[in-house]
Amino acid sequence: MFPLPQLADDCVLRPAETALALNLISRMDFLRLKSIARWHARGLPPDVTWDDLLQEAITRVLVGSRRQPQGVTMVALLAGIMRSLRAEHWRRARQGPGSSDTLRIDQQRDLSKEPALRDPTPDPERSLMAREELCAIERLFADDRIALRIIAGLAEGRSAAQIRAAANLSKTDYGSARRRMRRALLREGLTCENSRP
């Protein structure tokens, strides 16, 4: 029998790279998934990154613990898995370590074991990263007056209808501008961290 060759640690592919190599997802799907993963990772503790969510979702598909139903795209399946992972994280955080789902009426609850709520204000590092991304986005759309008005409206917390009314845009023009913005952001990699798979 022939000996098996040893694999170096740097030759082992991560789950996302494996999914790309197996053609389970395309490069554009991967960028979409990175954007979705970043959205689901917002508000989670710093030790749970968007990359962790995406890798865990892909791993669950690759090992077979989550199967793709017929007619469901891989992007939709992975987005649903990441949504479930986020919900599972918050469910566990609310319950705290060792707490049960039920509480008898006559049982006293120990409030000292309740989970502490995380401070919602971003730490300095996240604030700096957010400022840098916003500056890059503003530079990207410096020549697009409509996109800048939409960005300003979103920053002020306005709804789509309020932005359209303030900028005097039709639904079609607003939708076209949003799609144009989304494509430009995906192309520039501003919706995902600058690390490449």
44 φ, ψ (degrees, to nearest 5): -75, 160
pLDDT, residue 114, reads 54
Query: Among candidates 123, 128, 135, 98, which has minimal Cα distance to 113?
Result: 98
Question: Encoding tokens for residue 66?
Answer: 């989550």
pLDDT at 165: 92
Q: Could you say which DSSP state residue 111 is in?
A: G
CA-based end-to-end distance of the chain: 36
Residues contacting residue 40 through CB under 8 Å, at least 6 positions apart: 50, 53, 82, 83, 85, 86
Q: Which of 81, 50, 56, 89 is nearest to 191 (CA)?
A: 50
pTM for the whole structure: 0.44
Indicate the residue type of 113.
Answer: K
Per-residue pLDDT 10s for the chain (197 aa) are 455 455 444 555 566 666 666 677 788 888 888 888 888 888 788 778 888 888 888 888 888 888 878 888 888 888 888 888 888 888 877 776 655 444 444 445 555 555 555 656 667 777 788 788 778 888 888 899 999 898 888 878 888 899 999 999 999 999 999 999 888 888 877 664 443 33
Instruction: Supply 160's token pair.
Output: 């789509």
111-137: pLDDT as tens digits: 555 555 565 666 777 778 878 877 888
The whole-number pLDDT of residue 177 equals 92
